Structure 1
Amino acid sequence: MSTEIKAPVFPESVAEGTVATWHKQPGEACSRDDLIVDIETDKVVLEVVAPADGVIEEIVKNEGDTVESGEVVGTFKEGAKGEAPAAESKEDSAESSSEDSEAKEEKEKKGSDEPILSPAARKLADENDVEPSAVKGTGKDGRVTKEDVQNHIDSAKSSGGSSKESSASGMPEVNVAAGERPEKRVPMTRLRASIAKRLVNAQQTAAMLTTFNEVDMGPIMEMRKQYQESFVKRHDIKLGFMSFFAKAATEALKRFPAVNASIDGNDMVYHGYQDIGVAVSTDRGLVVPVVRDVDALGLADIEKSIVEYGTKAKDGKLAIEDMTGGTFTITNGGIFGSLLSTPILNPPQTAILGMHKIQERPMAVNGKVEIRPMMYLALSYDHRMVDGKEAVQFLVAIKEMLEDPARILLDV
């Protein structure tokens, strides 16, 4: 029995998606709940799985094609068995018999061990600048399949080798001779295009301003050093810096509601809760999963949520509901070495806090010069909603709570 493979039903905020990757090809056997195809939207990558045991019968929408919510992308035959353990694409199936004989003839003519690639495998190899002779074929008569090329690419990435496949940024990772000027043009992903659109829109529509301060991270570092072992034993997770910043921001947001608000047309929406977005960098682009009701969470709960979201983001498993909402955002450029920056607003929020690298600097402490671990803080805010006085006081409140963590517990 044949059934249609449809794109997932997209939320109202998502108009369409793009077929990112077909993990199964026509004629290839798959078990129930096996991943068949990835659909990339401007927010997340959605997975479509096999409805039962069977085979992919036909691919209607190829990789790179645009699909709408619920649109048919292929057909699935339930109960059928695959033609081969490593099946190939539709055109491979149609031409397989003739290609087998051609492959043998080609090898005899060449008199070499150069592998024969299926059309889908050759296309993938060309797109990623993979040398066919470097790939070990597992298909019939040693033919290199699409899966062989993909496995070679994944293996090269994990080993950190200098292979010729493209990097996450789309630039070729290849050593070239002096004087050569290589270029590679790749289409922008929907997620990255959406990020670009939102950031440009934020700069064009908001009256964005940034205020700076610095915080002595010594007290937090000493606390982490003193209680890290006990914390890990009790909660089975390390105590990081982000949970302290999230807690300090939560307390400051209570004191300055305008920083926790958002603008909806001509309305100012004040939120009586603190849902804090934590910016996470992935190969596909920057995503901002939201930790809900931070005020009700302990440091361990915050750390676990951040680690869970970070793992899901890197694996492309974030759901749209994980990133919707949010009343305030924290971004940490310090993990990449940034000493100072001006973060861009995450609309419709009215403020975003930027963390940076911890740098030891000479500071005046009680009339003496001491070397202290300092971090610059940056608060970008929408001046239409937040006055400069409130923004500065908000940042000072965070600074004071981090330099004296007992303030967070005492609410002073």
Structure 2
Amino acid sequence: MARFRGEGHRDRNSIMYNDRDHLSRKLIKILRRPGRGHHLHKRRDGYMLLHQVAAQLRSRGTFRGFPVTEQEVEEIARGDPRHFGVAASPEGTVIRALSKHAPGSVDLDLFNSASTRSVESQLRTVGYVFDAPGPPPLPGDGASAPSAEGGSVMGDAELFAPGSSDDEEDYEQVQDELRKLRQENAELKDEVAALKAENAKLRGEPVSVKSGEDPWQTGADPWQTGAPMAGPSPPAPAVRHREDTQQTSPKLEPLAAPTSGQPALAALHRETKAENMRQAHEENAEPAVLRVSGLGCEQEPFASRLHGEYLRLEERRCGRPVFQRGAEAAARQMVLFYWDDPELSGWYFCPSLDEEVETWAFHAGDTGLPPADGWVAPYDENGEVNPSFRVEAVR
């Protein structure tokens, strides 16, 4: 099972794991997707048909070895009004997601219902928890049953209350996130150093090579850890005055090179300027206008919505430019943008940037600019590519 952000490892064979909770997560994920195509349509109010959602769940696999039924999906939605909404429509029952699902939640009905796994049937029921240390007396040795003074009966809420193990799991999760952030930070620093070295080579400047350990990584003050300045120590005041009187003309001494711990301001300004020039060059290299064409006469409704020229906007999505259909088609707006999603990343043609709108065309590539061909247009769950659909740069 995939690991979600903020959620630890979950063992499917554990008693604390619930199939209904797993199915609820999948249901939330499907209901929050933007409706696209004819197999999974979302209305403007966010509702989806129950039989379409159940069919989408069945296509993703089985739960407990059996296919998901519409009745099971409806029971989960009606049993959790905080996350789902259920309503009736002329087409049939419709459901929608009201909020994001809380990861790691446990269904308390799990402990009151019949066991669904062999591991649960092998666990013995806990009746008494003794206050005094030591094992309970064995049956048949003449000892009486524990009285109210000798032990205390614990309820489900107290028995399954979070303890130190939960705190340890939370601590491990935080440490994992910190390790990931440190690794990403180190990778970004390496990329910046490589870009700076490349800019220095292009400008014909010497490439500075790091020597020793970076004081920022060790937490020390770089101004205190800098090496002493090269050269002899300055002479005493009396000796220096005598040397000045012997000179006939003023002589300018070259400035000492900065130490390893002090920042070279001039070099830093040059690198910053080169970085800004590189970023401006990349933005200028992006086309300002795109032309979309290629749909045939049999697809005239889609062609009237997709064909035309698209202008580049100042807004960016996921580090990529956003294009909008020209002003002459403002009444029927269409936007071309990139959406970074773990399962559905790619380029989209949609009426707006809102994720709750329908998709008209889709490309699964992760390029920096919209691909010229290979588009699924009009969009269909079958994913058939239209070879005639083209996206070309005009200028």
Q: TM-score range by the shorter chain?
A: under 0.3
Structure of greater Rg = 2
TM score, norm. by length of structure 1:
0.27
TM score, norm. by length of structure 2:
0.28
The structure with more strand, counted as a fraction of residues: 1
